[in-house]
Structure formats: C-alpha cells, structure tokens
Amino acid sequence: MAFIYHEVFDGRGFSKISSSWRRYSLARQLLSDVGFLPPVDAPDVSAPLESYPLRVVRPDAASDDEILRVHTPEHLARVREADARGTGFLDYGDTPAWRGVFRRATLAVGGTLLAARLVAGGRFRCAFNPAGGLHHAQRDRAGGFCPFNDIVIAVRCLQSEFGYRRIAIVDLDGHHGDGTEALLYDEPILTISMHRFDGRFYPRTGSPSDVGRGAGFGYNLNVALERGTDDETYLRAFDRWVAPAVRRYLPQLLFVVVGADSHEADPLVRLGLTLDGYARLAQRLRTLARELCDGRMVAVAGGGYAPEHVARCWTVVLGCLADAWLPGDPRLAALFAADRRMTRAASENPLEHV
Ligand SMILES: [Zn+2]
C-alpha cells in the first residue's frame, strides 16, 4: 500500500485549528512505532523496504491544467493571489490565506492524483493521501478548510487517463461532502456521504432527499446521522444503505474519505465512532473493494481535529486496509485502550481539551 507523503504536510494546515496541524507528524510517528512505516528519524537500512506494509511515495504539485479540469480560472487565480497577499481568507471567512497555502493546496491535489494513478496503473492495490479529502471545495470557491477539490480532480484523471466510468466515492467524514456532491450531481458517479445532518450543522446541506439529477439521478446518496451516533448505529446504516448501493453499482475503483472527525472525541463534529468502529468500517470497505474491483482503493483523509485520535484512527484504518494487523494483534488492542483512556480523560476534564 502506498502512503503519499511530502514534508510540506508536516507544516501549517488549511484549518483554523492550529493544534490539529500536528496530526500528520503524529501519524507518521505512530505508523512507524507499530512497524507499518520505516523509522521516521533514523532509517533502518538493515530492513528492506518491502518488509513494511506501507511504502512512502512523494507527490509533485498538481499543475494548473489539472486543477482547471474542475475549478474556474478565477478561483485558481484567487487562491494564488491570496497566497501572495498572505492574509485574509480564501473564502467567506473559513479558510485562512497564508504564504505557502497555494503550494500546500497543489501538493494536496497532487498527492491524490498520484494515489489514483498508482492504483489505476496497477503499481499498488491501495494508496492513502493524508493531505487529501478536501470535499468542501466547489467549482468557483474554497470552503471549510478546502482550497481545491482533490477528489473530483482525481475522478477526472481516472476518467480521462484510464477510461474509468464507474467510480464509487464513500465519504465518511463527519461533514457532508457538499463540494463533491455539487460537482458530480449530474453524473452517474456514485457519490455517498455519511455525515451529521440536522439542517443547521455545517455545511447545512446533505439531505437524504438530494439524490442526483439528470444522468446523475439516483447516484447521489446522503446518509444523515444524529449527533452522538455510536458504532452500532453507524455500522447498521452503512450495512443497510452504503454497502448495497456500492454492490449494485459495481465500481471499477473505490474512493474513500476516511474522515477521522466522525470519532467521538472530535471537537467539531460530535458523532460517536470509536476506533473499533473505524476498524470494522475499514474491514467492510476492504471486503467491498476485493469483491467488486480487485481491491482497488484510493483513500484520502478528510477532516479530524483531535490530532492524537486522528493519528490512531489512520493507523487502525490503514492497518486494516493493508491487511497488516495479525489476528488478536496486541498492538491494535493497545491503540484501542490508549484511545479510550484519552477520550475518557477529555470527557472528565472538558475544559483542558477544548
Ligand atoms: Zn469534516
């Protein structure tokens, strides 16, 4: 499995929650601690790279032409100008502008393009871009910490470069994937989003009654969840709505937004998934990909604002997708226990963990 990585990911992120920017370095450390990646600081030259379940692959920035497959020239110019200005916002006040944001945004897109090309080209069965999943970006504007929509840009690449016609997107981020939905609403690309929805929660869209239009009619599926939705309820909804829709669709590739902000400890979303829930979801996704499309899966991270929990979530999910956990693996049990301890401590001392 490919793990897309660039040192820029370790720096400033797109969100306003600066404490969350550490999630990339924390995840890489944890993945190396459990033996999925080579040691971060002191490469172990004695162990061949093939002995690790994840292989680090470095992306290039996406080109203007690649971004313009989805976005307007005005939007591309606006992000570039905001980068040069270095202050203000890329949108109406959600996504800050700063010197370097353009490079990070184009690397995030380049990472997802690389992941898609590695999988569709047969180099890897599965690839993960921790900087991808920027699902709130619309054709002509940024939104919700998302400058460019790497998911739909990668869909365009899979269509034009590899001739794919049936791509299933399963977005497990706690927020509705509104940009992805809008960009693909008229097309028969299966676009599924499971998210907290009550008509007020950001981005307010994502009603189950929005099912696509024209050639896309029936290909947009919104699964609305209540605040606090626990593992069992979440998995029941996945089994009832998501898995059958993906099976009926017979995708050539499964595109997954992991969405660590559906975790019970996430400060922005307040859904109720635990690490065990994520592990069971990841197993279901892996099974679907194997059954339907020879295991081909592109995974991108999406949100997640409690960085220690995010690092554990990605580690658990990637281990499942890469088949790297042993039966009854003590490393997995230790991760579950550490995660529960931290969630419990936060709920007993809420002010210390805002
Ligand atoms: Zn989110």
Q: Whole-number mean pLDDT of the chain?
A: 95
Is 70 exceeded by the pLDDT of residue 352? no
Q: How far is the CA of 157 from the centre of ligand 1 (A)?
A: 24
Is 60 exceeded by the pLDDT of residue 45? yes
Q: How far is the CA of 175 from the centre of ligand 1 (A)?
A: 4
Q: What percent of the chain has pLDDT over 90?
A: 92
**Distance between CA atoms of residues 330 and 328, nearest Å:** 6
Is 70 exceeded by the pLDDT of residue 283? yes
Domain boundaries, the chain: 2-353
Q: How far is the CA of 44 from the centre of ligand 1 (A)?
A: 36
Span 264-292, average pLDDT: 97
Q: How far is the CA of 256 from the centre of ligand 1 (A)?
A: 13
Q: How far is the CA of 328 from the centre of ligand 1 (A)?
A: 31
**Distance between CA atoms of residues 329 and 286, nearest Å:** 18
Q: What is the pLDDT of residues 59-106, one digit of tens each?
A: 999 999 999 999 999 999 999 999 999 999 998 888 999 999 999 999
Q: What is the pLDDT of residues 321-344, one digit of tens each?
A: 999 999 999 999 999 999 999 999
- The CATH H-level (homologous superfamily) assignment of domain 2-353 is Histone deacetylase domain (3.40.800.20)
Span 215-242, average pLDDT: 98
Q: Active site includes 136?
A: yes
Q: Give percent helix, percent strand, percent coil of the chain, each to the nearest 5.
A: 45, 15, 40
**Distance between CA atoms of residues 160 and 198, nearest Å:** 37
Confidence of residue 354 (pLDDT cuts 50, 70, 90): very low
pLDDT of residue 41: 75
Range from 175-184, 295-304, 320-329, 340-349 carrying the lowest mean pLDDT: 340-349
Cα torsion at 191, 6, 140, 297 (round to 10°)?
-10
Span 141-152, average pLDDT: 97
Q: How far is the CA of 266 from the centre of ligand 1 (A)?
A: 10
Single out the catalytic residue among 71, 136, 195, 263. 136
Best CA proximity match to 235, nearest among 278, 198, 193: 278
**DSSP state, residue 297:** E
Name the residues around ion ligand 1, CB cutoff 5 A: 173-175, 261, 303
Instruction: Kindly report each contact of residues 332-339 with a partner whose C-beta sits within 8 Å and lies 24 or more positions away, as own/partner.
Output: 332/279, 335/34, 335/275, 336/274, 336/275, 336/276, 338/312, 339/265, 339/274, 339/275, 339/309, 339/312
Which residue(s) pair with 300 in the sheet? 129, 257
pLDDT of residue 93: 84
Confidence of residue 42 (pLDDT cuts 50, 70, 90): low
pLDDT of residue 51: 85
Confidence of residue 44 (pLDDT cuts 50, 70, 90): low
pTM above the 0.75 mark?
yes
**Distance between CA atoms of residues 138 and 85, nearest Å:** 22
The DSSP line for 316-335 is HHHHHHTT-PPTT-HHHHHH
Span 292-308, average pLDDT: 97
Is 50 exceeded by the pLDDT of residue 353? no
Span 161-184, average pLDDT: 98
Q: How far is the CA of 304 from the centre of ligand 1 (A)?
A: 7
Alpha-carbon torsion (127, 130, 133, 134), positive or negative: negative
